[in-house]
Chains A and B, each alone.
Chain A
Amino acid sequence: MFEQYMVCEDGFKNVEENGELIGFEVKLRIPYYRGVSLSLINSIDLEVDGISFPQDDMLFKVETGSFPYNELSTVINNRWEFGEKATLFVKKKGGLDSGSHKVHAVVNLRISYLPWPNIGDDTKTITLVEN
């Protein structure tokens, strides 16, 4: 129900390591009304300008830790807090071109008391912060 706030306008940037651009980061807020253990994330899908990125290349970072996407289902003691801007890092050689991009994220959460998942879907055109 907070999905319209999910893709954050700030913190969208390329990531540099040893002088090379290795990927980019986008900040996401939870599309739900409480914080949850990271194990309750069923999936995160990301598209930039219509191109989707493999989840194997993603890293999800909250204030208390940083986890490869494929390990999220085991993380029961770290939470994505309500309103927290978590960082999704995506490995991409050379990063993204400067300027604005259409970012589409879909976050699917497993909610124990509901028979169906809670799915947040948000698309925003946001501008890459210059490094």
Chain B
Amino acid sequence: MREKSKIKRGVSLYSYQEEFYTGKLNLEQCIAEVAKTGAKGIELLPEQMLKGFPKVSEEFVDQWFGWMDQYGVEPVAYDAFLDNKLFPNRLLTLEENVDMMVRDLKLANKLGFKVLRTLVSTPLEVVKASLPYAEEYGVKIALEVHAPFTFGTPWFEERMEYIISSGTKWFGIMPDLGIFVKRIPPVMEQRHIRDGGTPEIITFVSENYENGVDKDETLEVVKKMKNANKVDLAYAELARHLIYTDPKILKDYIPYIMHVHGKYYDITDDYKEPSIPYKDIINILDEAGYDGYIDSEYEGNRHIQDFMEVDSVKQVQRHQELLKSLLDN
């Protein structure tokens, strides 16, 4: 029998955004829902769910750790945004950017998070200048590897080269499983058909995507179709922003992976993610010895909210069941 996996399961509270926004779940209730799935890790977008961000009171901090104890979970990842366009007339200076990063590192530390997610758009210079603070606050900065950017792009290579050559322990990567989209999620297809897309053209785009046909070429073909409407074009354009990377590439980067975003768009009644090859990905991570967290990151709400009530709680439970079955823990 296979050894028990060392990979840990968590949930990004981002998954519950629909219910939080509409007031059906508050922060504590989101945490309680995570605990019910058996997941142990909590990931938070403070700018989404912390009222009064970036200020938090001492009472709140006590409350936060109280919830962690009460529900038997732990803080894992803090998703930061770095609003370098804070002012309409100019970008923040390097120093201002670093100040904002330090603000987030401090808050992450205060709430017990060990990893801070930074975005694709964060300038490398800002990360470099922030690393002494990451060390001071004991919070690693992890670069989200997110579609349409992925491994092997010049953007990625420049950052990876810095990570390796500097030998830093405080900067690494956080793959988002959205870079492994093997077929366009059915929830996206169906939405475009509901919005007036031509079913044959939508299918044409989906099949081309799945068969690895160049996405720019597909868009050009659709543009030339006489019966293609705006929605069809938008769908072909959307396909350009999705990406499939061979999950085997993860093996080469295990020492630098600080966290994984378990992105998914829909878990069907039979516990499958139709667009992302979860089994392949988890097997590769597991066999290569990844021992960090994979956090559920449900991103399907926006594709179904026009016609049905979103049930993020059910979607997270199903995703956790899927992970559990692949991890044996």
**Interface residue A35 (Cβ < 8 Å from any Cβ of B):** yes
- Say whether, besides A4-B305, A35-B53, A82-B47, A112 and B21 are in contact (CB < 8 Å): no
Q: In chain B, what residue has the closest Cβ to A111?
A: B85
Contacting B88 at CB < 8 Å: which of A5, A35, A42, A111? A42
Contacting B302 at CB < 8 Å: which of A1, A36, A81? A1
Q: How far is the CA of A33 from the CA of B14 in the complex (A)?
A: 9
Contacting A34 at CB < 8 Å: which of B45, B119, B121? B45
Most chain A CB neighbours (cut-off 10 Å) among B83, B84, B301, B302? B83
- 12 sample A-B contacts, Cβ–Cβ < 8 Å, listed by A number: A1-B302, A4-B305, A33-B48, A34-B47, A37-B86, A40-B83, A40-B85, A76-B87, A79-B53, A82-B49, A83-B23, A112-B84
Which residues of chain B (66-93) have a CB below 8 Å from chain A?
81-88
Q: Is the CB of B88 within 8 A of A112?
A: no
> 10 closest Cβ contacts across the A-B interface?
A113-B121, A83-B21, A34-B47, A1-B302, A112-B85, A34-B48, A112-B83, A82-B48, A113-B119, A73-B88
**Interface residue B306 (Cβ < 8 Å from any Cβ of A):** yes
Q: In chain A, what residue has the closest Cβ to B55?
A: A77
Which residues of chain A (34-89) have a CB below 8 Å from chain B?
34-37, 39-40, 42, 73, 76, 79, 81-83
Task: Tell me the total A-B contact number using a CB cutoff of 8 A.
Answer: 62
**Interface residue A101 (Cβ < 8 Å from any Cβ of B):** no
Q: Is the CB of A110 within 8 A of B88?
A: yes
Q: How far is the CA of A37 from the CA of B49 in the complex (A)?
A: 14
Chain A residues near B23 (CB-CB < 8 A): 83
Chain A residues near B17 (CB-CB < 8 A): 33, 82
**Interface residue B2 (Cβ < 8 Å from any Cβ of A):** no
Interface of B is mostly: loop
- Say whether, besides A35-B53, A39-B86, A5 and B119 are in contact (CB < 8 Å): no
Chain A residues near B86 (CB-CB < 8 A): 37, 39-40, 76, 112
* Binary contact readout B16-31 vs A (1 if CB under 8 angstroms, 0 otherwise): 0100111100000000
**Interface residue A29 (Cβ < 8 Å from any Cβ of B):** yes
Q: How far is the CA of A67 from the CA of B250 in the complex (A)?
A: 49
Q: In chain A, what residue has the closest Cβ to B14?
A: A33
Chain B residues near A2 (CB-CB < 8 A): 21
Chain A residues near B228 (CB-CB < 8 A): none
Report the minimal beta-carbon distance from B108 to chain A, rounded to whole angstroms: 16
Chain A residues near B119 (CB-CB < 8 A): 113
**Interface residue B102 (Cβ < 8 Å from any Cβ of A):** no
**Interface residue B120 (Cβ < 8 Å from any Cβ of A):** yes
Report the minimal beta-carbon distance from B14 to chain A, rounded to whole angstroms: 8
Chain A residues near B88 (CB-CB < 8 A): 39, 42, 73, 110
**Interface residue B51 (Cβ < 8 Å from any Cβ of A):** yes
Chain A residues near B83 (CB-CB < 8 A): 36-37, 40, 112
Q: How far is the CA of A115 from the CA of B68 in the complex (A)?
A: 37
Q: How far is the CA of A48 from the CA of B167 in the complex (A)?
A: 59
Chain B residues near A40 (CB-CB < 8 A): 83, 85-86
Report the minimal beta-carbon distance from A110 to chain B, rounded to whole angstroms: 5
Report the minimal beta-carbon distance from A1 to chain B, rounded to whole angstroms: 4
Besides A35-B47, A82-B20, A112-B85, 13 other A-B contacts (C-beta < 8 A):
A1-B301, A4-B305, A5-B22, A37-B83, A37-B86, A40-B85, A73-B87, A73-B88, A82-B48, A82-B49, A83-B20, A110-B85, A112-B86
Q: How far is the CA of A31 from the CA of B180 in the complex (A)?
A: 28
Q: How far is the CA of A81 from the CA of B21 in the complex (A)?
A: 10
Q: How far is the CA of A33 from the CA of B12 in the complex (A)?
A: 13
